[in-house]
Amino acid sequence: MMKLRKITTVSAIALAGIISMSSVTGVMMQNNYCYAEETSTENDGGTQLEIKDVSLQVGADETQRNITWYGESDNPSYVEIVKMPSGWTDESAFPESDAKKIRANQYINTEGLYSNKAVMKNLQENTTYLYRVGNSEQWSQTYTFTTAQLGEDESFNFLFVGDPQIGASHNTTNDTEGWDTTLTNSIAKFPQTSFILSAGDQINDKGTSEAEQYEGFFAPDEMQSYALAANEGNHDSGSEQYSEHYNIPNVSNLGNKSSTGQQSGDYYNMYNGVLFIALNSNNRSVSEHRAFIKQALEENSDATWKIVSFHHSIYSAASHATDDSILELRSMLPSIFSGLDIDAVLMGHDHCYTRTYMMDGNDPIIPEGHNVSEGETAASKVTDPEDGQVFYLTANSASGSKYYSYNNNSLTDFIAVKDQSNRPNITNVEVTENSLTFTTYYTDTEELEELDSFTIERTAQTKDTGTVSNTDNQTSKVTSASNVKVAKTSIKKIKAKKGKITVTAKKVSGNVKYRFAYKKVGTKKWKTVTVSNKKTTIKKLKSGKKYAVKVRAIKTVKGKTYKSGWSKVKKVKVK
């Protein structure tokens, strides 16, 4: 049975807070059905106003959450957000007097609904927040979300889902219930999940059924408490309702499909030092995707891991594996991913679980004793993969709305594990500084049953991020794994003075230098200073502002520069 949300109707104006907006235009086709109880209030004329399709989404980094919703009011609308007070319960009124009020960007569609978008910034780690959306004419119920440990190199997990595709079975109610069951059971097992990454095809049909199917997709309570990172699938593409429902960080014109709106381009977000790059594979311009990936890598050159996602799987085992469009992408994308040292690629579209061997371009790297074509068991782990070796995973349906059978005419040399049990799946991805673990589960029972697991592991002897730095602003690809290792340092002492900070790093043995990075808290770009001494003073800082500082050790051998990982970030307020 699908969970129904209670109605909360509290109307008030909270204290003014930060204002952050992002824009989108669009056209909505229909509004005639809702799975959850609609949140509504009466305006002065007695008309029932509605708020629906509230969706919490990933922000530009781990300290932000984006949000979207539909509303009927044409008055300025807001997100109100506040830390959960001690003793607060579901029956408590929203604590409006302590809340921050964030103005939403608002655009009307052809059906008279307003698409609202806002950004919640400067979130603190290990904190539960309450929020609601709307205005004095109509407030939603109170929702909650909880942040985890935040910061570079902090471990976290996210859930990867494939093709919820609400409506694909021609029974939207059943598909919604299947999607709800998957999220309920998965979050019960992994309550600390940081976000949900979807491979696309959130819905099945554009046109008269579209609004109903989006309402089914956003119906589970988890969609308001766990951030979503969406990809555009072929069933989502071509309707501007997609752009109305998503609030995409760092979205580009590269990869854009004009028929889907401004939110359909390639985009990236950072989370705890990991770079996530989402490509719109409905746009077939591989050159645009390559340009965007390079841009994202240049802007986030210190990413611990680099994970790409898109909809149209290039390494799958079912019906779409031999599509001409898939074969075309397969001929071009893998060399780009290998050449740019992407670590893992997550995909959907083919509704059949498939994981590859590590792939170097289109060449599978088959470990000795683990060749499945010879009846051997696939490896469950790779340690220190060579540069250019990439892991690919294709998800099955997360809702159970549609499955595809194996394609016996397709190539299988890249397949390490495949499964079509006609059961919904979800993949939990555990991320640490030195490992990525992808564990896939059947989700149709409360006790999730494990289907498959694979780990990419790095040891201290490998390169740290797959690049060497010639200057602070130039990077080039390492052509092979190096035996040069640089011990990690940490910030031993940090002292604030008037307009400056003095930082001391833990001493690292050997001929190393120390690269200190700093930025004002709440801003994105790091500045760096490299010194031979373990101590430095960073000057010309703004008094009264809080700054974040981190450090790494670097070593130059035969003209190439090697780096340790970054230390944990420390923060200090300048006097």
Q: How confident is the model at residue 526 (pLDDT cuts 50, 70, 90)?
A: confident
Per residue in 504-522, pLDDT (tens digit) is 999 988 888 999 999 998 8
The contacts of residue 337 (CB under 8 Å, 6+ apart) are: 308, 345, 390
Per residue in 301-348, pLDDT (tens digit) is 889 999 999 999 999 999 999 999 999 999 999 999 999 999 999 999
H or E segment to which residue 355 belongs: strand 353-356
pLDDT score of 494 more than 90: yes
Segment among 290-294, 356-360, 526-530 with least mean pLDDT: 526-530
pLDDT score of 479 more than 90: no
Per residue in 131-145, pLDDT (tens digit) is 999 999 999 999 999
Residue 338 carries which DSSP code?
H
Taking residues 352-358, report their average pLDDT.
97
Per residue in 173-225, pLDDT (tens digit) is 999 999 999 999 999 999 999 999 999 999 999 999 999 999 999 999 999 99
Q: How confident is the model at residue 46 (pLDDT cuts 50, 70, 90)?
A: low
pTM value is 0.76
Taking residues 458-478, report their average pLDDT.
43
Q: Give percent above pLDDT 90 in the chain.
A: 77
Q: How confident is the model at residue 48 (pLDDT cuts 50, 70, 90)?
A: low
Q: What is the mean pLDDT of the chain?
A: 87
Model pLDDT, residue 522: 81
Model pLDDT, residue 189: 97
Taking residues 354-375, report their average pLDDT.
95
| Spatial separation of the C-alpha atoms in residues 92 and 96, rounded to whole Å | 11
Q: Output 559 or 539, whichever has higher pLDDT.
A: 539
The contacts of residue 19 (CB under 8 Å, 6+ apart) are: 102, 103
Taking residues 77-103, report their average pLDDT.
95
Residue 547 β-bridge partners: 520, 572
Helix boundaries (H) for 248-308: 286-299
CA dist list (Å): 414 to 372, 378, 387:
10, 11, 18
Model pLDDT, residue 483: 56
Model pLDDT, residue 484: 73
Taking residues 107-111, report their average pLDDT.
84
Per residue in 283-293, pLDDT (tens digit) is 999 999 999 99
Nearest CA among 154, 217, 222, 164 for reference residue 190:
222
Q: Output 459 or 82, whichever has higher pLDDT.
A: 82
Q: Output 165 or 15, whichever has higher pLDDT.
A: 165
CA dist list (Å): 169 to 175, 230, 421, 461:
7, 21, 17, 50
Q: How confident is the model at residue 25 (pLDDT cuts 50, 70, 90)?
A: very low
Q: How confident is the model at residue 473 (pLDDT cuts 50, 70, 90)?
A: very low
| Spatial separation of the C-alpha atoms in residues 218 and 336, rounded to whole Å | 34
Residue 396 carries which DSSP code?
-
Q: To which residue do tokens 């790093």 refer?
A: 505
Model pLDDT, residue 525: 77
pLDDT score of 460 more than 80: no
Taking residues 2-30, report their average pLDDT.
32
Taking residues 467-493, report their average pLDDT.
57
Model pLDDT, residue 43: 52
pLDDT score of 15 more than 70: no
Q: How confident is the model at residue 2 (pLDDT cuts 50, 70, 90)?
A: very low
Model pLDDT, residue 559: 64
